[in-house]
Chains A and B, each alone.
Chain A
């Protein structure tokens, strides 16, 4: 069900990723202020954008589940959130490295992306205990969907609030998402963003394939066990 078109997708992802890396290191010019360290921007920011979109997408898929009752939507939502959390942790890690390289500290509070992600990752960490503390599968899916929707709506609001707060306490103009990126940097950034988005979809499909196969296997085992007990 999910494996249609996977191979070309994976291939496209690998190609785009390789292209992006090549652009980052051989094409994009060196930043005047931050020097070589600025290259982290091309992996940190796309991860952030894709992760945030992934959380919102997880919320939308959860809406689809609640309206249709089709549990494959719940599975899609779960996997989207799962991968977004992993990317979110990556955002925090790469952000910390960037902070350390740029400002000497492993954490800075005046980076709205970093701070927003701390809150978002903390929030979504509750997804797993909430989900797995409910045993009934249908109720588990329903409650997880409600969480996914609330959290998905929360993510943009949180981003806005943190951004507003930072503008007040630290009126430093950090051109990280690049209001005025020069052409070569912009191209590199866009390709990196595309690569990250393709990577997300590929990993998402991959995990769906794996989970689907595992469910089929369980069903098959159960059927075989039933047949044996009937025959016995």
Chain B
């Protein structure tokens, strides 16, 4: 198949890189949320305990 013209090909290339970046961002976001929750619970516990 002959190479796609630049504008059409651009969509696919963008798609591939978007997939990659989305995976990374979603993964980091999920872990970031977990860490935030742990942090929150930690401050709750230490404030309880300190009383």
A and B: interacting chains: yes
Q: Is A220 an interface residue (CB 8 A)?
A: yes
Residues of A within 8 A of B42 (CB): 217, 220
Q: Does A165 contact B (CB under 8 A)?
A: no
Distance between A213 CB and nearest chain B CB, rounded to angstroms: 5
Task: List the count of A-B residue pairs having beta carbons below 8 Å apart.
Answer: 82
Cβ-defined contact, A206 with B28, below 8 A = yes
What residue of chain A has the Cβ atom nearest to residue B7's Cβ?
A: A36
Contact across chains for B20 and A47 when beta carbons are under 8 A apart: yes
Does B23 lie within 8 Å of A89, measured CB to CB? yes
Partner of B1, one of A40, A87, A104: A104
Assess whether B16 is in contact with A98, with CB atoms less than 8 Å apart.
yes
Number of interface residues of A (CB under 8 A): 38
A97 touches B3 (CB 8 A): no
Which of these, B13, B19, B28, B45, contacts A90 with CB under 8 Å? B19
Q: How many residues of B contact A (CB 8 A)?
A: 26
Is B35 a contact of A213 with CB atoms below 8 Å? yes
Q: How far is the CA of A37 from the CA of B34 in the complex (A)?
A: 37
Within 8 A of B (CB), among A1-27: 21
Known contacts A40-B12, A43-B16: A203-B4 contact under CB 8 Å: no
Query: Please, which residue of chain A has its CB at the minimum distance from the CB of B6?
Result: A36
Q: Determine which residue in A86, A93, A97, A214 has the highest number of CB atoms from chain B within 10 A of its CB, and name it.
A: A97
Residues of A within 8 A of B28 (CB): 203, 206
Which residues of B does A touch, CB under 8 Å?
1, 3-4, 6, 9-10, 12-13, 15-17, 19-20, 23-24, 27-28, 31, 34-35, 38, 41-42, 45, 48-49
A: residues with CB less than 8 A from B are: 21, 31, 33-37, 39-40, 43-44, 47, 83, 86-87, 89-90, 93-94, 97-98, 100-104, 199, 203, 206-207, 209-210, 213-214, 217, 220-221, 224
